[in-house]
Amino acid sequence: MKTRESGILLHITSLPSPYGIGDLGPSAYEFVDFLERAKQSFWQILPLNPTAADYDNSPYHGISAFANNPLLISPDLLIRDNFLSKEDLEPLPDFSDDRVDYPKVIAFKEKLFNRSYNRFCETRRDHEYMQFCRENSQWLDDFALFIALRAYFKGKNWRQWPREVVEREPHIPPHLEEELHERIEREKFLQYIFIKQWSALKEYCNCRKIKIIGDIPIYVDYDSSDLWVNPKIFFLDEEEKPLAVSGVPPDYFSETGQLWGNPLYRWDTLKSSGYDWWIKRLERNLRLFDMVRIDHFRGFIAYWQIPTGETAVNGKWVKGPGDDFFCQLFRRFPSLPIIAEDLGAITPDVREIMRRFDFPGMRVILFSFGDIPKNPHLPHNIPRNCVVYTGTHDNNTVRGWFNDEATTKEKERLFRYLGRQVPPDELTWELIRAAFMSTANLAIIPIQDILGLGSEARMNRPATEGNWRWRLLPDQLSTSIAEKIGEFTEIYERG
């Protein structure tokens, strides 16, 4: 990132749609048109991996590092492509416009997926589909089998399956594979449809000079196809249970730290393969997106290792692959468009890796007004090679923060910095202006802040349930809002 640009953060699930959840259909294209009218260059989203009810449908707890979320498939585009008829959608459930009801959405879309797959089976499988299956067989075959087995064994994680299924030496029992054949093929079909719809949307963006920023969680979950297929690259014991798990130590955000619970990597094993699994993971993501943000980037340099069964307080820092890992990546990818999520307590060795490989970091305006000397998030302290946000998916909105969280001291520092006492209904745009004015090469603003929404529009409250449900209403993106953000883009030369 060498030029001044800007964009908007909005996850696909938050788009308007009559089907209970945002998808890759008409509203996604309308949002791209809004971005173009607002003179934006980037659309940032959250991870696209398949989610699971076990993990509160969090996009940061995917059940595959390679597959995509079928819930984002558009029924309207399935109708257009003759995989569904309008009658197949009836009766349409009474979905909420502003919240995702995941159980209701999943039940509805499962019916549509079954009908779509049956319609697909009635026709001769086209060359494009067969080519997709061949090109993605390295992950697709295992993922489809994993999903079929997960449904067959009803809620048990892969370690609780029969031994001959867990170990696959070299295959699962033939009678089981035969019984699951249709479900396996259905899952491949859904991944094909997702990519077909996603590729068309990405092309629509790129033709309008809008680039998409994706998101890669550093870890995967224990109950995922990746653990089942590649247990040797994870820090597991002889019974394939985690020896230690991920998290972060106590800091000024949390007195007890955070216990994430993801299995950790065996970086020595990964190194011996030339980091093959990670290279393939990045390769796939760089086909999906123009740029990727890597969550918890510091975990590549040193990670917090928590013994299984312990709290985050009892963890310890363990050295990660660091320089060797990124040297290998650059041998494979001459250009590596990565944004390093470097929020929290970051040590000099992390900064050195970022400097050496020229990875932009992140700054958050909402973090500017705490009692921190030379606060790195204050607009005048933000470096050029950086992405500045008013807030991220984990933060409250600007308005929600000011009304519900900011202390008296933080408000005083805020007003002193702005040079005046700003009314709450003007504050969001003042902080957007501060982000756009900063020297950071890229400014990304959550759509909730562009709309001036409060705590009710927050996407995620870490360590709580009931997240990832907020949705944009159909008429909220007005022409006047596009013009206002477009004007900021022109004034601060981010066009």
Catalytic residue among 23, 187, 295, 449: 295
CA gap 279, 272 in Å, rounded: 13
Q: Tell me, yes or no, if 135 is annotated catalytic.
A: no
Choose the catalytic residue: 323, 394, 410, 430.
Answer: 394
Among residues 18, 66, 49, 20, the alpha carbon closest in space to that of 284 is found at 66
Active-site hit among 76, 215, 341, 342: 341
Strands (DSSP E) contained in 19-175 are 42-44
CB half-sphere exposure, 339, CA atoms < 13 A = 27
Q: Is 215 a catalytic residue?
A: no
The two three-digit tokens of residue 391, written as one number:
């807030």
Give the separation between CA 76 and CA 62, rounded to whole angstroms: 25
Q: Any catalytic annotation for residue 295?
A: yes
Q: Residue 101 to residues 60, 182, 341: CA-CA distances in angstroms?
A: 18, 28, 30
Kindly give, in sequence order, each residue whose CB lies less than 8 Å from that of residue 135, ignoring residues fewer than 6 positions away. Answer: none
User: Using a CB cutoff of 8 Å and minimum separation of 24, what contacts does 462-470 make?
Assistant: 462/258, 462/394, 463/258, 465/56, 466/56, 467/56, 467/58, 468/11, 468/13, 468/51, 468/56, 468/57, 468/58, 468/59, 468/100, 469/99, 469/100, 469/101, 469/102, 470/14, 470/98, 470/99, 470/100
DSSP, residue by residue, 173-184: -HHHHHHTHHHH
Q: Are 428 and 399 in contact (CB under 8 A)?
A: yes
Q: How far, in Å, CA of 6 to CA of 130, rounded?
A: 39
Q: The sheet that has 302-307: what strands, in order across it?
A: 258-263, 244-248, 302-307, 316-319
Q: How far is the C-alpha of 161 from the C-alpha of 21, rounded, in Å?
A: 32
User: Distance (Å, rounded) from C-alpha 22 to C-alpha 71?
Assistant: 9
What is the rounded end-to-end Cα distance, in angstroms, of the chain? 14
- Whose tokens are 């562009």? That residue is 450
Dihedral pair phi/psi, residue 446, rounded to 5°: -60, 140
- Three-state DSSP state, 314: helix
Torsion, Cα 381 385 390 395, to 10 degrees, reads -100
Residue 333, judged by CB atoms within 10 A of its CB (0-12, 13-18, 19+), counts as middle
Q: Hey, which residues are catalytic here?
A: 295, 341, 394
